[in-house]
Amino acid sequence: MKTIKVGLIGTGYIGLVHLEMLRRLGGVEVVAVADTNGDLARAAAGKFGIGRVYENAGALIADPEVEVVHDCAPNNVHFDINAQAIRAGKELLSEKPLALDSHESAELLELAQKHGTLTAIDFCYRYYPVVQEAAARAKRGDLGEVRAFMGHFLQDWLFFETDYTWRLDPEVAGQANVVADLGSHWFDLVQFITGQKIVEVMAELHTCLPKRRKPKAGPLSFGGGQTGDSEEVAITLDDYASIFLKLENGARGNFTTCQAAAGRKVDLEIQVFGSKESYAWSHVHPNALWIGHRERANEVFYESSQLQTVETRKYAILPTGHPLGYHDAMFNLFRDYYEALAAKRAGKPTKATFPDFRTGHEMMCIIDAAVRSDKSGAWVKVGK
Amino acid sequence: MKTIKVGLIGTGYIGLVHLEMLRRLGGVEVVAVADTNGDLARAAAGKFGIGRVYENAGALIADPEVEVVHDCAPNNVHFDINAQAIRAGKELLSEKPLALDSHESAELLELAQKHGTLTAIDFCYRYYPVVQEAAARAKRGDLGEVRAFMGHFLQDWLFFETDYTWRLDPEVAGQANVVADLGSHWFDLVQFITGQKIVEVMAELHTCLPKRRKPKAGPLSFGGGQTGDSEEVAITLDDYASIFLKLENGARGNFTTCQAAAGRKVDLEIQVFGSKESYAWSHVHPNALWIGHRERANEVFYESSQLQTVETRKYAILPTGHPLGYHDAMFNLFRDYYEALAAKRAGKPTKATFPDFRTGHEMMCIIDAAVRSDKSGAWVKVGK
Amino acid sequence: MKTIKVGLIGTGYIGLVHLEMLRRLGGVEVVAVADTNGDLARAAAGKFGIGRVYENAGALIADPEVEVVHDCAPNNVHFDINAQAIRAGKELLSEKPLALDSHESAELLELAQKHGTLTAIDFCYRYYPVVQEAAARAKRGDLGEVRAFMGHFLQDWLFFETDYTWRLDPEVAGQANVVADLGSHWFDLVQFITGQKIVEVMAELHTCLPKRRKPKAGPLSFGGGQTGDSEEVAITLDDYASIFLKLENGARGNFTTCQAAAGRKVDLEIQVFGSKESYAWSHVHPNALWIGHRERANEVFYESSQLQTVETRKYAILPTGHPLGYHDAMFNLFRDYYEALAAKRAGKPTKATFPDFRTGHEMMCIIDAAVRSDKSGAWVKVGK
Amino acid sequence: MKTIKVGLIGTGYIGLVHLEMLRRLGGVEVVAVADTNGDLARAAAGKFGIGRVYENAGALIADPEVEVVHDCAPNNVHFDINAQAIRAGKELLSEKPLALDSHESAELLELAQKHGTLTAIDFCYRYYPVVQEAAARAKRGDLGEVRAFMGHFLQDWLFFETDYTWRLDPEVAGQANVVADLGSHWFDLVQFITGQKIVEVMAELHTCLPKRRKPKAGPLSFGGGQTGDSEEVAITLDDYASIFLKLENGARGNFTTCQAAAGRKVDLEIQVFGSKESYAWSHVHPNALWIGHRERANEVFYESSQLQTVETRKYAILPTGHPLGYHDAMFNLFRDYYEALAAKRAGKPTKATFPDFRTGHEMMCIIDAAVRSDKSGAWVKVGK
């Protein structure tokens, strides 16, 4: 099999995770990295023996050897990089969000369709084996008709007034913070598991901490704390959001997200209630799926390369009962994407289930609707 | 200590639980029971050696030996019985809800205040030892300022179309089903733990199963199933509800309730996020309180007559680590009520924390606001 | 139904729990209490309106109105009281252990058989609804042949050197501490769930804290701490024990118990592995039974008055999903005993599954064998 | 940094996991693979672009470019391959067990010391972040003196009579099955967390399924089931074992292992009770450490690159709360090993905590002692 050549843009934390997971794949080679911080890019290239380093995205995209671009740059340049890469004829795997609003994401989707790009977006939570299992069971009818769903995504890295991030700055992050950053992952899970689109929302965006200390030396991420000088700034974006949702079939849902919930780290939970059974999944113990029944004992299904339905066994990479983690979820997504790419190259059909730019655009539409609903205090239909 | 004489109205399931828990108390004697179903009343009296049996509530209330009335009758006669008992100068412990709407509950509250009645209402979930502990810690400042709260109350006894209950019939149940029946317990916990009132709500009431089979032989309770003849009826009341809530201090909350969630039996969960720490409690494992922290390990506090704060140890009745259950929660409430009553009789002050008719009225106001919000699709302030 | 008259000896903590749970029963009346501490006995009698108070056990046993004796006295007088009660023709429910060694318990068993006494012993852990469920499923064949079993019983109330109890004094407690006090409960569960007798053991008794501070004012219980004067004493009895066990059918088991395990309060856990499925139960979350499968998802069975097998539903007293606690387990045992007693009085056969003096004697035999095994360092057969 | 060149022997399941995890490291390149099944080796080489393929271990060891050998061959050739690699001057990371008995492992240890080989053995469970955390806390004194420890390692892949593996054949597997295969992992955790050596054991090895169906087409692994012809064979090796253990300081422990426990997949659990606090860890939810206290609430510590002690944060690779899995544990071990190797090459001291051939030998000594104890029915001291 001919090796596929990859170029990766953005060698911060998430870019490095991409690099490690790309290296676990066979048949894929990262040939170039780019970062506006050249030292960061050179360190990553040195660590993994990557041949070429660029200090801007455009140069990497122009590299003729690069077939696939991984866009791990900051959110506010996603649109430009993604558009450039598509126009340059590259295949494209982008970090989320696709862009800053649904107008941009619509444009990207259209562009990708026009160029026949094989796109993917990194909504990796759906790639835990038992999340795949829930979706597969729902699809074959075990769940019955979905009636209701609920859940939350809670973190605490913005718990203190001294916690600050560029995500709270509307100039950089756009119109929403937590409902976009965390909400989009949850909305993707809802659509993936139920097989239904979210069509209407009623949202309340709220700021628990209306004042914060912003470090003068630049924003931080993931609760690293701060020691240097800081200034008080007013916060207008949401660090809490609650949303009612409706699916195509009329099923109701309810979601809460907050980044100031002490003790909750990456606490994503989803419950889906169908007319035949129920599912519940928590990212805190990500290898267990709860299956609820009215007339018999509930089940706890632990990921298993033997007991899962045939089509989802491949995501339970290890022998039954060996726990998988976040890295493996991302690896599973990458593997699906590169298998689909190999199929495309070979002119074969592919039935991939990975999230693509249509998914990314749908998430932007939901977020846009949530922001409008919060402003109007009324239900808002999700655009397309 | 002089024995207090009790009369109990309504000898169905919950009435029998009252009887058992009353008998665990010292200094209290049930001297009379009443039920319109005389056989039921006689069976209860026979079982526990209770001297007098009435076939209507009024006769029991008129019994001069009865000092305290326990109102365990069906919801739609709560108002009448409670009003009669107050007017007759009895002390009064009522099952929830206090009445069918907030106008009635306001009237009862006023009446009880006028007569100086010592009232209680059976919101017993707050009487699990670690729920008391959470409230005590919040009160002394451990929680800090409450910022957000969330939770759910899920059941599955109305999961099938063949499940039917009088609670779904607006003629009997009034304007709401699940948001009233289950929501009220949760709202009470919110106010009890945070020490704040719920002042505004945005609600959506929804009917997952718009058609059900109603047994011709009369309604059933708690998923007992049905075997006889039935007819299809249209359901208009809610079997699902989601609610955004605001507290006095501006804190936001979100709640979901559903009675068609396969596998969830009595699954009440509440999470409260403060500016210093967080609490989470689930009725499924009711003796453990989760305490969340940003900067150190989270804690799991198991009920303990030694480790709880001094004022809540009395609710952890057994040596540390012996699990308590639903019966014990109700017992704890009764004990507090009768201690307060003994204090009242002795002319002593009492600092009881049991829910009273003011609590009951507040819950009715929240439910009324939720129903109005659902109709208007907008936020509604909670009345007083 | 004629009321059964009960006399209770020993009005300490466990005696009071007996009194409360007896009062929850219908058709049973406590007519007398006895305690060598007369003040304690009078307080209990006053609280519950009990007519007669004795300051010694013999006087209560001689009371002609007393039909049933509850023996809640200290361990070292169990033998004498139980023997007296049997000889006086009383029915008898004794706290565990039956006596101080298996010679005494054999004598009691023989005596009871001779007098036709209806005996019971308070191994109440088997009366949690899902423990009953596990036993019922095993009995009907779901478990298959039992192959192996394991578990532990951990506490921490003897964690500090300043924790002291009479149970550590061989003059009062006999030849063993924790293996007797906690082990016996676990051994009873093994036999109850598997339906097999323990026939051989290999044990190691160990003292984690060989020196303790004994309060001069008298021993304490349940980790209450001590403030007064104390003296250092050498401890020879076990506060840790581990035991290999064999059942009649050759199945192997392993058990650990310790009272110095920080953070473990009443942490009893048992797992049974059969040729068809597995069971696991933990007293920390006592309403859930884990059922393990090789070829399909594991189950978590929550106590349910609807979903349990027909013969065990009566132990799930409340509607499905309302958690039961320690009090309810004891209540369930008492109810079974008094139903059997009513049947006996009525000359009807009874198929009771409550633990009786045969059970109590079997536990003493296992403990004796464990002590001998520890001394010899070899496997020892359990006597009969 | 100069790239380190690796050769890997044995391209079965575990060899492929090694290859993936080696590729996540920077500065390491796999230049050759070997397997007696040449097709398997060529497939692995093709997948990851590895240059040279050998059909026997000796040829790979003789490859002058290979600096480090990963020995992933079957157990019964571990000794030969490890000895050869050491003699050839290679650095060496071996799968467990080191050899088939403690005589062989002693020889390997001596040989490695003589040649100054940097050795490692793949006891990777200790590399979950919170296991490292438990050990670090114990080391700095938080645990106090260890008093007792317990745990189990349960699987179900040998549950059916139709499950068969070469591990049950003494010709291939040596003198023990489960106590060696699973026990060794658990013993390593005990020594790693407590910092104490296991010095004496009392063991019982047992065969739950004394007859099995052996497939004529060759043994299978991990419960894959079988469809072809089979023959009945008598099983003499253990599929269940229980062991009492003593540490250097006299602390007692107890362990159970079984491969026929329906529903238990890779269920390793360890509890350690110290004089100051307790730890419990389960591989089923491997990112949470339970910390038990007598006088305050217990803690649940979730892996965290921020909250762990400074020296263990590097093992919590992702931002706080992103779950890690089995792959990450192995990756952590490899990274430590290759960092130590880089330090060795640079002539720098290293304070690595990875398990090495001394560890591997110690495990063989414990297993040998367990086998002898089972035969004698008495306590046996662990050799050195």
Per-residue confidence band for C223, with pLDDT thresholds at 50, 70 and 90? very low
Q: Is B244 on the interface with A (CB under 8 A)?
A: yes
Of D295, D296, D299, the CB nearest to B298: D299
Residue C81 pLDDT > 80: yes
Residue C25 pLDDT > 80: yes
- What's the complex ipTM? 0.95
Do A300 and C299 make contact, defined as CB atoms within 8 angstroms?
yes
Mean pLDDT lowest among A167-181, B229-243, C219-233, D273-287: C219-233
- On chain D, the residues whose CB falls within 8 A of the CB of C208 are 147-148, 252
Residue D220 pLDDT > 60: no
pLDDT in tens, D98-129: 999 999 999 999 999 999 999 999 999 999 99
Residue D221 pLDDT > 70: no
% residues pLDDT > 90 (chain C): 92
A103 Cβ neighbours under 8 A, 6+ residues apart: none
Of C160, C208, C278, the CB nearest to D294: C160
Per-residue confidence band for B223, with pLDDT thresholds at 50, 70 and 90? very low
pLDDT in tens, C151-192: 999 999 999 999 999 999 998 888 999 999 999 999 999 999
Q: Mean pLDDT across the stretch D202-231?
A: 79
Compute CA B96 distance to the chain's CA centroid, rounded to the nearest angstrom: 5
pLDDT in tens, A175-228: 999 999 999 999 999 999 999 999 999 999 999 999 999 998 765 554 455 567
Q: How far is C6 from chain B (nearest CA, A)?
A: 15
Q: Mean pLDDT across the stretch B253-258?
A: 98
Do D325 and A321 make contact, defined as CB atoms within 8 angstroms?
no
* Greatest Cα pair distance in chain B: 61
A310 Cβ neighbours under 8 A, 6+ residues apart: none
Quote the pLDDT of residue B216. 85
Quote the pLDDT of residue A223. 46
Do C299 and A295 make contact, defined as CB atoms within 8 angstroms?
no
* Greatest Cα pair distance in chain A: 61
DSSP letters of D293-344?
-SSS-EEEEEP-TTTS-GGGGGGS-SSTT----HHHHHHHHHHHHHHHHHHH
Q: Mean pLDDT across the stretch B19-33?
A: 96
Do C160 and D242 make contact, defined as CB atoms within 8 angstroms?
no
Of B291, B295, B297, the CB nearest to D301: B297
- On chain D, the residues whose CB falls within 8 A of the CB of B130 are none
DSSP letters of B206-250?
E-S-SEEEEETT----TT----S-EEEEE--S-SEEEEEEEETT-
Measured at the CA of C147, the angle between CA C144 and CA C152, to 5 degrees, comes to 115
Of A295, A297, A302, the CB nearest to C299: A297
Taking only residues 305 to 324 of chain B, the set having a beta carbon closer than 8 angstroms to any beta carbon of chain D reads 307
Other C-beta atoms closer than 10 Å to the C-beta of B25 total 20
pLDDT in tens, C97-145: 999 999 999 999 999 999 999 999 999 999 999 999 999 999 999 999 9
Do C318 and B327 make contact, defined as CB atoms within 8 angstroms?
yes
Residue B56 pLDDT > 90: yes
Per-residue confidence band for D223, with pLDDT thresholds at 50, 70 and 90? very low
- On chain C, the residues whose CB falls within 8 A of the CB of D244 are 204, 242
CA pair distance C363, C352, nearest whole angstrom: 19
Taking only residues 275 to 294 of chain C, the set having a beta carbon closer than 8 angstroms to any beta carbon of chain A reads 291
Mean pLDDT, rounded, of chain D: 95
Residue of C271, C291, C375 to mutate, interface with D, max D Cβ within 10 Å = C271
Residue A369 pLDDT > 60: yes
Residue C241: DSSP 8-state? E
- Give the burial class of C344: count Cβ atoms within 10 A of its Cβ; 0-12 exposed, 13-18 middle, 19 or more buried: middle
- On chain C, the residues whose CB falls within 8 A of the CB of D223 are 294
Of B47, B319, B327, the CB nearest to C26: B47
Residue of B nearest to A253 (CA): B242
Backbone angles phi, psi at A9, to 5 degrees: -110, 120
Residue of C298, C303, C306, C308 to mutate, interface with A, max A Cβ within 10 Å = C298
Report yes or no: A319 and A312 within 8 Å, Cβ to Cβ.
Answer: no
Q: How far is B64 from chain D (nearest CA, A)?
A: 50
Quote the pLDDT of residue D350. 79
Q: How far is D299 from chain B (nearest CA, A)?
A: 4
Residue of B nearest to C266 (CA): B321
% residues pLDDT > 90 (chain D): 92
- On chain C, the residues whose CB falls within 8 A of the CB of D264 are 278, 292
- Give the burial class of C207: count Cβ atoms within 10 A of its Cβ; 0-12 exposed, 13-18 middle, 19 or more buried: buried
CA distances in angstroms from C157 to C239, C282, D149, listed in the order given: 11, 19, 17
Quote the pLDDT of residue A228. 73
Question: Residue C5's beta-bridge partner residues?
Answer: C29
Structure tokens at C290: 């884990």
Residue B217 pLDDT > 90: no
Quote the pLDDT of residue C118. 97
Residue of D nearest to C277 (CA): D262
Q: Is A23 on the interface with D (CB under 8 A)?
A: yes
Q: Is D48 on the interface with B (CB under 8 A)?
A: no
Mean pLDDT, rounded, of chain A: 95
Q: How far is D261 from chain C (nearest CA, A)?
A: 5
Of B223, B258, B273, the CB nearest to A262: B273
pLDDT in tens, B34-50: 999 999 999 999 999 99
- On chain D, the residues whose CB falls within 8 A of the CB of B297 are 291, 299-302, 307
Residue B67, amino acid: E
Residue of C158, C200, C222, C242 to mutate, interface with D, max D Cβ within 10 Å = C242
Quote the pLDDT of residue A227. 62
DSSP letters of B260-323?
--TT-SSEEEEEEEESS-EEEEETTSTTEEEEE-SSS-EEEEEP-TTTS-GGGGGGS-SSTTPP
CA pair distance D59, D38, nearest whole angstrom: 13
Residue C44 pLDDT > 90: yes
Do B291 and D302 make contact, defined as CB atoms within 8 angstroms?
no
Question: For residues B351 and D244, which has the higher predicted lDDT (pLDDT)?
Answer: D244
Q: Is A296 on the interface with B (CB under 8 A)?
A: no
Do C325 and B321 make contact, defined as CB atoms within 8 angstroms?
no
Q: Count interface pairs B-D at CB distance under 8 A.
A: 30
Q: How far is B37 from chain C (nearest CA, A)?
A: 20
Q: Mean pLDDT across the stretch A275-298?
A: 98
Residue B352 pLDDT > 90: no
Q: Mean pLDDT across the stretch D186-214?
A: 98
* Long-range contacts, B14-19 (Cβ 8 Å, 24+): B14/B72, B14/B95, B15/B44, B15/B70, B15/B72, B16/B44, B17/B327, B17/B330, B17/C318, B18/B70, B18/B72, B18/B330, B18/B334, B19/B44, B19/B48
CA distances in angstroms from C292 to A50, A299, A313, C134, D83, listed in the order given: 48, 10, 20, 12, 43
Other C-beta atoms closer than 10 Å to the C-beta of A372 total 16
Quote the pLDDT of residue B273. 98
B38-48 helix and B13-24 helix, angle to the nearest 10 degrees: 20
Do B292 and A262 make contact, defined as CB atoms within 8 angstroms?
yes
Find chains touching chain D: ≥3 CB pairs under 8 Å. A, B, C
Of A204, A252, A278, the CB nearest to B263: A278
Backbone angles phi, psi at A167, to 5 degrees: -65, -15
Residue B348: DSSP 8-state? -
Q: How far is C274 from chain A (nearest CA, A)?
A: 19
Residue of A202, A244, A268, A301 to mutate, interface with B, max B Cβ within 10 Å = A244
Residue with tokens 């500065």: D27
Do C148 and D208 make contact, defined as CB atoms within 8 angstroms?
yes
Residue D343 pLDDT > 60: yes
pLDDT in tens, B186-215: 999 999 999 999 999 999 999 999 999 999
Q: What is the pTM of this model?
A: 0.97
Quote the pLDDT of residue A352. 73
Of A295, A299, A307, the CB nearest to C299: A299
Residue of B nearest to D299 (CA): B299
Q: How far is A365 from chain D (nearest CA, A)?
A: 27
Q: Three-class SS of residue B336?
A: helix
- On chain C, the residues whose CB falls within 8 A of the CB of A295 are 307
